[in-house]
Amino acid sequence: MRKVIYNFCLLFALTSVLAGSAAAQQKTGYVDTDYLVSQIPEYQSVQQQLRSLSQEWRAELDEMQQEIERLREDFSAREILYTDEIRNQKEQEINSKIQQRQQYLEQKFGAEGDFFQRQKELLEPIQRQVFEAITRVAEREGFDFVLDRTQKTELLYAREQWNLNDEVLLELGIAVDNPSN
């Protein structure tokens, strides 16, 4: 029985040593994709386009809301003068405007809305460019893994020497004035 336990312990120790040496040979780096994307000149233009589009649609939503408020105020001021039929018509008109505004909001800013579709369309080429640069740097520098610090990977500590942001920016042809974060 002692021999079995001894062999098991020996096997466990050997496995641990081999696994430890294999892990020590792996090279892991990290990047901050939010930072990298923000450094690409086209990104500012994309952000401006999205801001402009959002402001335009929000202005339309505000106009719709003002129309709803005007109808409500008018209804409140004249409600006692309305017959039951006219009162129901006015309430339906107000509810219809509320529904139209809600549908417009969902169409423009919902999960599958125009804003997010446009954002995806505009940002995808930039994100692809960054990803391809990360891949080239990782392959050239011999990294086994590259983590993204911005995607909630819970990277609690990392040595600055493994930060690949500057190398990726250089790969993208962007001059690095000050060392990255």
Q: Which two tokens stand for residue 82?
A: 């309305």
pLDDT digits (tens, 9 = 90+) for 145-174: 888 888 666 554 556 777 788 888 888 888
pLDDT at position 162 is 73
Choose between 131 and 181: higher pLDDT.
Answer: 131
Interval 123-139 mean pLDDT: 91
Sign of CA dihedral 171, 173, 176, 181: negative
pLDDT at position 58 is 97
Domain boundaries, the chain: 2-171
pLDDT digits (tens, 9 = 90+) for 88-120: 999 999 999 999 999 999 999 999 999 999 999
